[in-house]
Amino acid sequence: MGRVRNVVNRANARLPLKTAAALLGGSTLLASLLGLFRDRLLNSTYAATYPVGLDAYTVAFTIPDFMFFLLTSGALSVTFIPVFNERLAKGNKKSAWALSYSMINFMALVTLVASLLIIIFADVLITLIWPGLNEQGHGLAVSMMRVIAVNPFIFAVASVIASMQQAVGRFIFFSLAPLIYNFGIIIGIVFFTNGITIFGFELFEGGIMGVALGVVLGSILQLIVGAIGLIGMGFDYRFKIAWRNKAFRQTLGLLPARSLDQGIDYINTIVETSLASRLAVGAIRNYQQALTLHSVPINLIGVAISTAAFPQMTERLGLGQVDMFRKELQSVLRVIIWLALPVAVVTYFGRGYLASFLFNGGNPEVATALGVLSIAIIFRSVYHIASRSFYAQKDTKTPLYISLFTIALNIALATWFTLGLGLGIFGLAWAQVITAASEVAILFAVMSTRIPKLFDEAFISSIGRMLMAAVPTGFISWSSVKLFDFTVRDQSFFATFPKFALIAMISLAAFVGLTYALRLSEAHKVIKWINKGLFFQAKGQN
């Protein structure tokens, strides 16, 4: 028992920014790969024989996820962490713990009510929002949504616990949570879809509803693993809400604007799936799969780096170090763009291979939609640090106002492109790209008025050189795809992945080399790290 406690304590140690970013990036990559494996299993089981079931499964997530994003999600981390850190910095642990247990209990209460409402009104909601589903798809979506409705409640508690760990630089168990969640869903696909029998009694007959049970299992396991990360913090939990606690009231004051921002953002997803339900059977799933593929690099780059950098950014402003805040924001921005640019290029030219990771033999509709969405990878990656630059200033309203405009723009464009111009899911993808670019442009236009010289000559020059390097990288990537052409024999993951990996390595190596030649510090750091590794390897061999 003592050894276990020692291991947990070591895992819960505070991590420096670079280590935290690397850990979050690595865990996000593993979670993304596990998610792709999950979706491939699901598609191989149902895509050809039961596409209506996959559409229903995709729809079943939307309202529970919407309630989670509206009430909790990222809203907690960007509103809770600055206030929590401020109390800890002043040595007021009693107030910090009161804030923590109050948020856990408050969020649990609010989301429990939301979960019950989803269960009661699932039928009505699906009838109103997804009228394009046929009778079978409608019934399945209602049943699965009622099972998945427990997620907002479980995720709310887990989110407060995760925010506490982020605030003090604990990322080990926080980073394990998404891995465990996907693992639970995979258990549902592999085992629960065959039915559940205990001591000869059939508790569940199986089918795609087993996947919904796996989702609930994954969320419960995620909460348990996240709670282990609290060990050693000295957290004093109490079953009450400290309404008079100033930190709690301050967090509640910041929460509505950010929560509404998150919830309104998710309205895009609801509208898009509603529009897709009016198209051919399978359109909902195909568009969702294209979104999933384009989200992987965004989570790996934009979310991971921004999440790791955010606590330190809040500390800079808390200490009045505005110049240091500006320099760190510039540095993080440069790294994100430097990473996102070549990844977007590889995603565009390798879209056929990427679609084949989820569907045996590929999926032309998913591949084409992903090609459009690859442009959004850059803007969506940058968005996460752009919005957090406002949250670090305890400003949750400005991003909300901007989101109100851009979401209205996205809905208008998506409706026009799909129903007006008949572009199908490709219209949804183009609406996403235009909206993502507009939102980032407006956010930074406002931020540049608050922080002088944010986009100084040196910064603009570095971004310009990155774009210069991206052009020949695109040609190299296209040439590599032509050289290792996707063929009808490439039906399995093990046949396509080596080719795509080679294309990606050639393209990314070319971009690093080009940016190194253009004297970009990001590339110089990578080359220096590679040379150092090779030097030590050669020295060890001698």
Write the pLDDT tens digit of every residue in 460-476: 998 999 999 999 999 99
pLDDT of residue 358: 87
In 190-307, DSSP assigns E strands to: 196-198, 201-204
Both 61 and 177 in a single domain? yes
Domain end: 214, 247, 270, which one? Answer: 270
Per the CB < 8 A criterion, the answer to whether 181 and 222 are in contact is yes
Is residue 406 within a helix (H) or strand (E), and if so which, with residue range?
helix 397-415
Q: Is residue 14 part of a domain?
A: no
93 pLDDT band, cuts 50/70/90, is confident
Whether residues 345 and 468 share a domain: the answer is yes
Residues 450 and 482 in one domain: yes
What residues contact residue 525 under an 8 Å CB cut-off, 6+ apart?
Answer: none
Last residue of a domain, one of 240, 270, 300: 270
Do the domain assignments include residue 44? no
394 and 484 co-located in one domain: yes
**Quick one: 245 and 335 in the same domain?**
no
Domain shared by 262 and 295, yes or no = no
Q: Average pLDDT, whole number, for the chain?
A: 82
**Whether residues 174 and 289 fall in one domain:** no
The mean-pLDDT minimum among 66-80, 237-251, 361-375 falls in: 66-80
Mean pLDDT of 418-440: 93
Domain count, the chain: 2
**Domain check: are 260 and 358 in the same one?**
no
- Give the pLDDT confidence of 350-390 residue by residue, as tens digits: 998 899 888 877 789 999 999 999 999 999 999 988 888 88
Q: Is 202 strand, coil or helix?
A: strand
In terms of pLDDT, which residue wins out, 437 or 307? Answer: 437
pLDDT classification of 485: cutoffs 50, 70, 90: confident
- What pLDDT is stored for residue 123 in this prediction? 94
Is residue 265 assigned to a domain?
A: yes
Q: What percent of the chain has pLDDT over 90?
A: 27
3-state secondary structure of 196: strand
Residue 4 domain-assigned (yes or no)? no
* DSSP per-residue letters across 335-375: HHHHHHHHHHHHHHHTHHHHHHHHSTT--HHHHHHHHHHHH
Q: Quote the DSSP letter at residue 281.
A: T
In a domain, 255, yes or no: yes
Please check whether residue 37 lies inside any domain of the structure. Answer: no
Q: What is residue 113's predicted lDDT score, i.e. its pLDDT?
A: 93
Question: Percentage of the chain with pLDDT > 70?
Answer: 86
Domain range for 83 is: 55-270
Residues 411 and 481 in one domain: yes
Indicate the pLDDT class of residue 491, thresholds 50, 70 and 90: low
The backbone torsions φ and ψ at residue 132, rounded to the nearest 5 degrees and listed phi first, read -75, -15
| Residue 62 belongs to some domain of the structure | yes
Band of pLDDT at residue 498, cut at 50, 70 and 90: confident
Whether residue 294 sits in one domain with residue 261: no
Task: Quickly state the pLDDT bin for 198 (edges 50, 70, 90).
Answer: low
Only one residue has tokens 């080679």, namely 502
The predicted structure's pLDDT at residue 40: 87
What CA–CA distances, in Å, run from 434 to 133, 134, 209, 388, 431? 28, 32, 36, 21, 5
139 and 214 part of one domain:
yes
Whether residues 139 and 246 fall in one domain: yes
Q: For position 338, what pLDDT does the model report?
A: 93
pLDDT at 489: 55
Q: What is the reported pLDDT for 533?
A: 46
Answering whether pTM is above 0.85, one says: no
- Is residue 19 included in any domain, yes or no? no
Q: Token pair of 483, please?
A: 């050289």
Of 246, 270, 294, the domain-final residue:
270
Least confident span in 21-25, 49-53, 443-447: 21-25
Of 38-52, 220-234, 279-293, 521-535, which one has max mean pLDDT?
A: 279-293
- Is the pLDDT at 5 greater than 80? The verdict is no
pLDDT for position 347: 96
Distance of CA 364 to the CA centre of its chain: 25
> Quick one: DSSP state of residue 195?
-
